[in-house]
Amino acid sequence: MNSILLVEDDPILGEGLVLSLQLEGHNVDWAKSISSGHEKWSSKQFDLVLLDMGLPDGIGLDLCRLIRKKDQKLAIIFLTAKNDEQTIVESLNEGANDFIKKPFSHRELMARIRAALRISIATPKLLKFGELAINIDKREVTFQEDNIGLNRRQFDLLAYFMKRQGEIITRDQLIEHLGQENEIYDRTIDSHLSQLRKIFRTHKINSIQISPVYGVGYRLEIV
């Protein structure tokens, strides 16, 4: 049984979707705005989000961005009356797994939900880079099977690099990723990176480093 968050402001469509999903055996929480959807998502674990594009207090992409800052694995499917290329590309670029054009059939909706859930469940919980490994769910870090103790910020920062290993990550991206609860400044990023490098040296992690890319950002790489 999967837990689904439905964010849809149309009362008729919303009631129909809740009933259809429940008949398929899913648990459903229904929100009618971005603020309500964000509140429900923040207080409960969901397997999938069905997200309307047009909502009373903004567009579905706004909520999608908020979710993706903290959760890269949660399946998100957009419900939209638009099918233009720009809308589709923007939705996928912001982290949507799929989109369904209104009106849609019950069979199509359920097939797309099953497909999105299969991908979400298959997402690895263990990330590896060389001999460095991170268990996302347990928030554990190991190097050559030795445990590495990190605080919350350090773990989130390293996990972000691990998820995008080999990519150049800008300072703005790091600030946005870490600045979900408090204001984050350039000097804060420098401090966290310095602490991580010190931890690497302490545990003799010499084969992996977070390297600066002059004028652009940083990259996790094997040396």
Residues 87 and 142 in one domain: no
Domain boundary among 122, 149, 175: 122
pLDDT at residue 167 in the model: 83
Asked whether the beta carbons of 6 and 29 are under 8 A apart, the reply is: yes
Domain boundary among 55, 90, 122: 122
* Residue 36: Cβ within 10 Å count: 18
Asked whether the beta carbons of 61 and 91 are under 8 A apart, the reply is: yes
pTM: 0.57
pLDDT, tens digit (0-9, with 9 covering 90-100), for 151-210: 988 898 898 898 887 788 888 888 777 765 445 556 778 888 999 999 999 999 998 999
pLDDT, tens digit (0-9, with 9 covering 90-100), for 82-122: 777 788 888 888 888 888 988 899 999 999 999 888 866 55
Helix H segments across 59-216?
60-70, 85-93, 106-122, 152-163, 171-178, 186-202
pLDDT at residue 181 in the model: 45
Residues 40 and 144 in one domain: no
pLDDT, tens digit (0-9, with 9 covering 90-100), for 114-138: 988 886 655 556 788 888 988 887 7
Residues 109 and 133 in one domain: no
Residue 181 maps to which CATH number? Answer: 1.10.10.10
Distances in whole angstroms, Cα of residue 11 to Cα of each of 4, 30, 36, 126: 17, 10, 15, 40
Residues 11 and 110 in one domain: yes
Give the range of the structural domain holding residue 167, as residue numbers without chain letter: 126-222
Assess whether pLDDT exceeds 90 at residue 14. Answer: yes
Domain boundary among 122, 150, 183: 122
Contacts of 159 (CB under 8 A, 6+ apart): 127, 134, 136
The amino acid at residue 64 is C
Residues 37 and 118 in one domain: yes
Residues 111 and 130 in one domain: no
Q: Count of domains in the chain?
A: 2
Residues 143 and 44 in one domain: no
β-pairing, 54-55 vs 75-80, is unpaired
Residue 12 maps to which CATH number? Answer: 3.40.50.2300
The amino acid at residue 57 is D
Residues 104 and 192 in one domain: no
Rounded-to-5 percentages of helix, strand, coil across the chain: 45, 25, 30
Residues 32 and 97 in one domain: yes
Rounded to 5°, angle at Cα 30 from 29 and 32: 150
